[in-house]
Chains A and B, each alone.
Chain A
Amino acid sequence: MISIRGVSKWYGPTRVLDDCSTEVAKGEVVVVCGPSGSGKSTLIKCVNGLEPVQRGEVVVDGVSVTAAGTDLNRLRARVGMVFQHFELFPHLSITDNLTLGQTRVLGRSRDEAITRGLAMLDRVGLAAHRDKFPAQLSGGQQQRVAIARALAMDPVCMLFDEPTSALDPEMISEVLDVMVKLAEEGMTMMCVTHEMGFARRVAHRVIFMDHGRIVEDCTKESFFGTPRSERAQQFLAKILRH
């Protein structure tokens, strides 16, 4: 479904991605972790072309993201993305947040879009909040709306960039619950997260990044057994201690 082949990226002279390659199969859940600044966000944004790359190729569902001439808007419409800071549109009601992409990009009628959007809102347990505005919801609720907004576009895969790291502890689990359900229903997911409980529960594979490089790319079992690299062991020891 997602295939990243030899991707490198520079910001000026600094190399932030260094020859990264990995695959995410249909229905697979891959967790990406690693220290701050290791390039996780950059990598995941390459998947839907939010970050251009200088070298290598990214292919999503048979469409090359990196090739010149690809209709990136059309591709992005099929790839859901969830951000650390939710990024709901604060000037739009929850319903309008859910329908904007559907009507403007997919060309759905407003009624159709509302029906689909509200079905997704119901799925994340927030149907009662349809007429509110983002600022009237808690962080956890906003993030669940953001997930519903992405799902309303009927994506072929979902990207998550630290979806719970801006949340208070008691709100983390309500978002993780939604993500676990999604994973169990067979959604293809690439999640940047340090929630190792989530990784243990639903991930098929874990990728560990350091200094722009994919240092580990292995099954969940072998990652939590004994990661091969010392760097990953140190990292795990640090985050699992808390």
Chain B
Amino acid sequence: MNYHWNWGIFAQQVQAGEETYFDWLLSGLGWTVACSLSAWVIALALGTAIGVLRTTRSRTLSGAGAAWVELFRNIPLLVQMFLWFFVVPELLPRELSLWIKQDMPAKEFVTATLCLGLFTSARIAEQVRAGIQSLPRGQRDAALALGLSSAQAYRHVLLPRALRVIMAPLTSEFMNTFKNSSVAYAIGLLELTFRARQMQEDSEQGIETYIAVTLLYFLCAFIANRVMALIEARTRIPGSIG
């Protein structure tokens, strides 16, 4: 192999500009983190709400929750990105559609975040549902017997317990969110993967580029994992196993 290694490439300026390749990757990392964290907030809020709906006694509500989950879970993420980016704006009223296409600020970021948030919400909803259903039925009865409303029973008893139960899958999901955000390069969000491809073409140092990017993704997922582990330790119930 006569590949010409050049680890100094990151400090060099890009072909057409003042910035260095390091600047590109750093700004890509910034968008990746911003998109993943925002999507995670959306996913956690929506996913919890929909997971709860799926455990209510109302057929309509739990049916609506099931439809949501199936919708976002059965379509590949990349296709969802394209749908949100190219198709959904066309279906909106003319004015709104024009505004989105021409004037919406940070269009790629908003679209990617929303798409990733909704996609992940369906997965979290399933975990929340399973978590709630794993609790003994007596817990709900005991909460209601005290006079708590259904909403209060979820808020103070069922969810705090269910979320602890699903900490392990939730941790994986948080890490997945970072990794899945790379799909956003396809609609032109200048995130890490986009910047990697750009740098590879611009510098022709593909191996160094992807080694660096791999490490950066690894770091993100690793930090996400540690953060969740910290939360898990903090919320551990005294006297329980593990």
Contacts and interface: CB of A to CB of B under 8 A. Distances in A.
Given A45-B141, A50-B141, A89-B139, A100 B146 contact: yes
A91 B145 contact: no
Interface stretch (A1-9, A77-85, A117-125, A214-222): A77-85
B111 to A, nearest CB: 38
A104 interface: yes
A90 B145 contact: no
Given A50-B144, A89-B139, A135 B240 contact: yes
Nearest to B236: A91
A100 B239 contact: no
Contacts of B152: 104-105
A104 B148 contact: yes
Nearest to A133: B238
Contacts of B142: 81, 83, 87-89
A79 B142 CA distance: 12
Nearest to A45: B141
Given A73-B149, A133-B239, A90 B141 contact: no
Contact of B147 (A83, A105, A135): A105
A103 to B, nearest CB: 10
Most chain B CB within 10 A, of A45, A87, A88, A136, is at: A87
Interface residues of A, number: 33
B183 interface: no
A74 interface: yes
Interface stretch (B94-102, B156-164, B186-194): B156-164
Contacts of B144: 50, 73, 76
Contacts of B93: none
A101 interface: yes
Nearest to A96: B156
Interface in A49-90: 50, 73-81, 83-85, 87-90
Given A90-B237, A134-B239, A101 B147 contact: yes
Interface string A129-173: 000111110000000000001100100000000000000000000
Interface in B125-184: 136, 138-139, 141-149, 152, 156-157, 160-161, 164
B147 A74 contact: yes
Contacts of A75: 147
Interface string A163-196: 0000000000000000000000000000000000
B164 A76 contact: no
B156 A73 contact: no
B160 A91 contact: yes
A95 interface: no
Given A87-B139, A90-B240, A134-B239, A81 B145 contact: yes
Contacts of B148: 73, 100-101, 104-105
A50 B152 CA distance: 16
Interface in B226-242: 235, 237-240
Nearest to A85: B138
Contacts of A133: 237-239
A86 to B, nearest CB: 8
Contacts of B238: 132-133, 135-136
A91 B164 contact: yes
Nearest to B156: A100
Contacts of A100: 146, 148, 156
A141 B70 CA distance: 45
A48 B145 CA distance: 7
24 contacts: A45-B141, A50-B144, A73-B144, A73-B148, A73-B149, A76-B144, A76-B146, A77-B146, A77-B147, A81-B145, A84-B138, A85-B138, A89-B143, A90-B161, A91-B161, A100-B148, A100-B156, A101-B146, A104-B148, A104-B156, A105-B146, A132-B238, A133-B239, A150-B145
Interface of A: 45, 48, 50, 73-81, 83-85, 87-91, 100-101, 104-106, 132-136, 149-150, 153
